[in-house]
Structure 1
Amino acid sequence: MRQFDQRFEEYMRGHTSEASRWMHVAGMAAAVGAATMAGRRRRPALLWAVPGAFFSFAWSGHFIFERNLPVGFTDPGAAFSGDLKMIFMMATGRNTELKELVEHLQRQDEARADEPSTSAQDTPGLREAA
């Protein structure tokens, strides 16, 4: 469970915009609608519309609001599980919890950025040995 929590935190670093998170919810609703329509009409070929319905909204959220690449480009597993958890939390009224997590992660990232670097290139005594 700890590994999932760490992956979810990393996933949420790419989903800091509330508008982008709502675009993911809209995309999931569109995908469920497309799947339902395919089932009701008994036309399995319409299932090809399901990923397009989801990703058109989700990726628009990334490109317009986040100005970043979706996590799915680098870690599809984390993206899928992260999408499901985030969308479930949004749909069940837990957006405030997500906002607090994002704010916590941003403070954490700022604190790390303020820490002095300990790499060999930045440490005068180690530069020659590196």
Structure 2
Amino acid sequence: MSQFSSFRQFYPFYLQEHSNRISRRLHFIGSWGVLACLLAAIWRGQWGWLLVALLCGYGFAWVGHFFFEKNRPATFRHPFYSFAGDWVMFVDILRGRVRL
């Protein structure tokens, strides 16, 4: 399935693309890093932290995909759904709905 008509349809695919536990952990660490960088940008008023946030989030995620999942990140095919999927999975991990 290459096209999705809704995020609800996309999210099961997204989770399937993150079946490797180490990859999920790397995504989770990267998401925490993004939040820390955003807080640093706001707290210090140094907007260069926003670039660091991007590098942190995508860096951890892409290491997970290329080295552990051995697949191509969904960001390249579905950038908006993938971005939302990262944060929904992050919250689902915090809630215990997705195993870390």
For 1:41, the aligned partner's letter is: R
Residues 45-124 of structure 1 correspond to what in structure 2 (within 5 A)?
45-96=48-99
Query: Is 1:32 the equivalent of 2:35?
Result: yes
Q: Which structure has the bigger radius of gyration? A: 1
Moved over 3 A (4+): none
Q: TM-score, normalised by structure 1?
A: 0.67
Once the 2 structures are TM-superposed, how far is the Cα of residue 77 of structure 1 from its aligned partner?
Answer: 1.5
Cα drift, residue 19 of structure 1: 1.3
| Amino acid aligned to 2:35 | V
Aligned residues: 96
Q: Verify the 8 A CA contact 1:20 1:62 in the aligned structure 2.
A: yes
- Give, in whole Å, the separation in 2 of the partners of 1:94 and 1:13: 14
Aligned partners of 1:9 and 1:95: how far apart in 2?
A: 12
User: Which structure is richer in relative contact order (CA contacts within 8 A, separation 6 or more)?
Assistant: 2
- Bigger Cα displacement from structure 2, 53-62 vs 33-42: 33-42
Task: Kindly state the Cα deviation for residue 60 of structure 1 after the two structures are TM-superposed.
Answer: 0.7
Q: Percent identity?
A: 31
Q: Which runs of 5+ in 1 are unaligned?
A: 99-130
The residue number in structure 2 matching 1:12 is 15
Q: CA contact under 8 A between 1:25 and 1:91: conserved in structure 2? A: no
Give the match's secondary structure for 1:44.
Answer: coil
Per the normalisation by structure 2, the TM-score is 0.85
Structure 2: unaligned runs, 5 residues or longer? none
Counterpart for residue 109 of structure 1:
none
The one-letter code sitting in structure 2 at the alignment partner of 1:59 is: W
Q: Is the 1:31–1:51 contact (alpha carbons within 8 Å) kept by the matching residues of 2? A: yes
Amino acid in structure 2 at the alignment position of 1:51: L
Counterpart pick for 1:23 among 26, 35, 45 = 26
